[in-house]
Amino acid sequence: MRHLRSLTRRSAVIMAVLAVIFLAGCTQFTGPPDKAAPLLIEGALDTLAHFRKVPDLKVIDQYIPDAAGVLILPSVIKGGFFGAAEAGTGVLLARTPDGWSYPAFYILTAGSFGLQIGLQETEVVMIIRNLGALNAVVEHQAKLGADFGITVGWKGIGFEGSTTTNVGADIIAVVGPGMGAYGGVSLEGAALVRRTDLNEAMYGANALPREIIFDGIHTNPIADPLRAAISPR
């Protein structure tokens, strides 16, 4: 009986994850990859501009000067029925000696179990504070949370975000309206998975995140305004 309950819970989470990934694909940055990639970059620019106008969100500029990388998710969708899931596509950029790198595309997915019904959408900016965490994302499509060796602190609308909570965190996730405190908890264990289709649409066949972010092999002027916008003026 206990085994059956465990299977039921896992099935609910899997179904919720698949449902929200489907919803994310249907509602944000739709269309062929060569059209979706530039739209996502525009969305990331809009998110930066929005965060800098809202007192609880402009805290990103306190962390960006010392950041190793920045992941911008213009639309993170959370929904579920008993099982809950979150999904959102974003862009990851790294600090280089010549400024910010060109962006690589990633999708964030997370699942949890509990009595939760509904659908929410928000924006998230993740400040990656050290090279270890950045490498974990680029090389291993890392999972977030202390259990996976990458600690996450939370700030933004609906979060207390005390400084002590975020001291030593590898990633600071600044979350816009729509998620509340539960959003931060449910992102624990989230996976960041590379979007090969968008990376190749933007930079050409076989373009890998390491080549884009660290090696500087691939470029595209469409992303230059975003690269310039990340650092505070």
Measured over the CA atoms of residue 99, residue 210, residue 200 and residue 70, the dihedral's sign is negative
H or E, element range at 73: strand 69-96
Q: What is the mean pLDDT of residues 156-178?
A: 73
Q: Residue 231 — φ and ψ, nearest 5°?
A: -75, 140
Q: Cα dist. 186→93, 111, 180 in Å?
A: 24, 7, 11
Three-class secondary structure of residue 18 per DSSP: helix
DSSP 142: P
Quick one: pLDDT at residue 8?
A: 47
What DSSP line would sit under 145-202, residue for residue? BGGGTB-EEEEETT----HHHHTT-SEEEEE-TTS-HHHHHHTTT-EEEE-HHHHHHH
Quick one: pLDDT at residue 24?
A: 47
230 pLDDT band, cuts 50/70/90, is very high
Three-class secondary structure of residue 215 per DSSP: helix
Quick one: pLDDT at residue 113?
A: 41
132-143, pLDDT tens digit by residue?
Answer: 999 988 988 777
Using an 8 Å Cβ cutoff, are 28 and 39 in contact? no
- For the chain, what is the total number of helices (H) and then of strands (E)? 9, 6
DSSP 60: H
Q: Look up the pTM and report it.
A: 0.81
17-66, pLDDT tens digit by residue?
Answer: 455 445 444 445 557 899 999 999 999 999 999 999 999 899 999 999 99
Quick one: pLDDT at residue 109?
A: 81
Quick one: pLDDT at residue 119?
A: 58
Domain boundaries, the chain: 2-230
Per-range mean pLDDT, top range of 21-30, 96-105, 165-174, 224-233: 96-105
What is the Cα 191 distance to its own chain's centre? 9
Three-class secondary structure of residue 220 per DSSP: coil
With 0-12 CB in 10 A as exposed, 13-18 as middle and 19+ as buried, what is 23? middle
Please state, rounded to an integer, the average pLDDT across all residues of the chain.
Answer: 79
